[in-house]
């Protein structure tokens, strides 16, 4: 993660924190506390050490929560002590990572809780912030949702444009076998469904169905392939989709629409 953290610090600090350098004595020591200002699932705490190390280190860093832990409003997440200038110049980057990743983890936990008791698992997608995919998917996992593809290199997922470029579903599936991986195919019509099953698809991605339609299609598939439901799945309706008998539901909203959680940094001189 060092490169991502380094870029974030470089972006924010640039040639120097002119405010801290001009009004805070170089020798001034301070301590700071990271506090949850609302209930949340924490993620990203492992980055704190990297952030401070890249700016010369601190005297002491105590992390009281692990990724995936619940935090109540007002609860202390971590405490740090060292040069006041170092703590101040790292404050925004540290908060940006914690707030963003905790937002993803909190959203993921809500989706996971919503399908509890069903056989269905929630998956994430590749709809992540450019450059932050690994971190956001780590936050998803901390929240209790399963990671799907890390990237195009990770698994075969034949979508509409692949089907068009390959000249049909059967052609796409037969050619994809050379990859030696599980073959997933995006399905929009019953004709697509039967063609993919006949061609031996391992995993079917049923897109933009209602829960009622999805339940019918799952029964029709009858266990001949794993079934993932996608498209328009929200926290409000994910339970209904999970109860259709599908193996998985996926939602891009867990990453692309997660709200940053409210976390503060309180500093005091020592």
Dump pLDDT digits (tens) for 156-213: 999 999 999 999 999 999 999 999 999 999 999 999 999 999 999 999 999 999 999 9
| Mean pLDDT calculated for residue range 115-126 | 97
Q: Is 62 helix (H, G, I), strand (E, B) or coil?
A: strand
* Mean pLDDT, rounded, for 96-119: 98
Amino acid 97: pLDDT? 98
What does the alpha-carbon distance between residue 196 and residue 216 come to, in Å, rounded to a whole number? 17
Find the mean pLDDT for residues 133-149.
97
Domains of the chain: 2-107+258-269 (3.90.1170.20), 112-256 (3.20.20.70)
The two three-digit tokens of residue 107, written as one number: 């959203």
The mean pLDDT of 3-18, rounded to a whole number, is: 96
Q: Parallel, antiparallel, or unpaired for β 203-207 and 183-187?
A: parallel
Other beta carbons within 10 Å of 157: 20
Burial category of 63 from C-beta neighbours within 10 Å (exposed 0-12, middle 13-18, buried 19 and up) = middle
Residues in the chain: 270
35 strand-pairing partners: 76, 264
3-state SS assignment for residue 260: coil
Residue 25: strand, helix, or coil = coil
Catalytic residues: 92, 127, 159, 186, 207
Q: What is the pTM of this model?
A: 0.95
> Is the pLDDT at 1 greater than 80, yes or no?
no
User: Cα 253 to the chain's mean position, in Å?
Assistant: 9
- Per-chain mean pLDDT for the chain: 97
Whether 2 has a pLDDT exceeding 90, the answer reads no
228-262: pLDDT as tens digits? 999 999 999 999 999 999 999 999 999 999 999 99
**What six digits make up the tokens of 263?**
């976390």
What pLDDT is attached to residue 256? 96
Closest CA to 229 of 201, 245, 207, 244: 207
* Cα–Cα distance measured from residue 10 to residue 4, given in angstroms and rounded to the nearest whole number: 10
SS3 76: strand
- Residue from 204, 267, 196, 233 nearest 114 by CA: 233
Show the tokens assigned to 232.
Answer: 């328009």
Vertex 228: Cα angle to 222 and 231 (nearest 5)? 130
Mean pLDDT for 147-162 is 94
């Amino acid at each position: 993660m060092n490169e991502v953290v380094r870029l974030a610090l470089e972006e924010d600090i640039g040639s120097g924190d002119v405010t801290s350098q001009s009004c805070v004595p170089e020798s001034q020591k301070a301590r700071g506390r990271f506090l949850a200002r609302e209930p949340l699932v924490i993620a990203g705490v492992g980055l704190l050490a990297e952030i401070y190390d890249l700016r010369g280190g601190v005297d002491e860093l105590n992390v009281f929560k692990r990724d995936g832990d619940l935090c109540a409003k007002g609860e202390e997440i971590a405490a740090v002590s060292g040069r006041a200038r170092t703590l101040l110049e790292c404050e925004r980057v540290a908060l940006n990572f914690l707030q963003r990743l905790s937002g993803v983890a909190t959203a993921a936990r809500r989706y996971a809780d919503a399908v509890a008791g069903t056989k269905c698992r929630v998956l994430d997608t590749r709809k992540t912030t450019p450059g932050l995919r690994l971190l956001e998917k780590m936050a998803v996992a901390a929240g209790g949702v399963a990671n799907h593809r890390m990237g195009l290199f990770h698994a075969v997922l034949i979508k509409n444009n692949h089907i068009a470029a390959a000249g049909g579903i059967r052609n796409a599936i037969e050619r994809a076998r050379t990859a030696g991986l599980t073959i997933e195919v995006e399905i929009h019509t019953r004709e697509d469904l039967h063609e993919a099953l006949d061609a031996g698809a391992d995993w079917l991605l049923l897109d933009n169905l209602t829960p009622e339609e999805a339940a019918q299609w799952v029964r029709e598939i009858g266990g001949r392939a794993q079934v993932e439901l996608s498209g328009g799945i929200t926290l409000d309706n994910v339970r209904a989709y999970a109860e259709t008998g599908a193996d998985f539901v996926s939602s891009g909203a867990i990453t692309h629409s997660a709200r940053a959680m409210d976390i503060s940094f309180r500093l005091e001189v020592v």
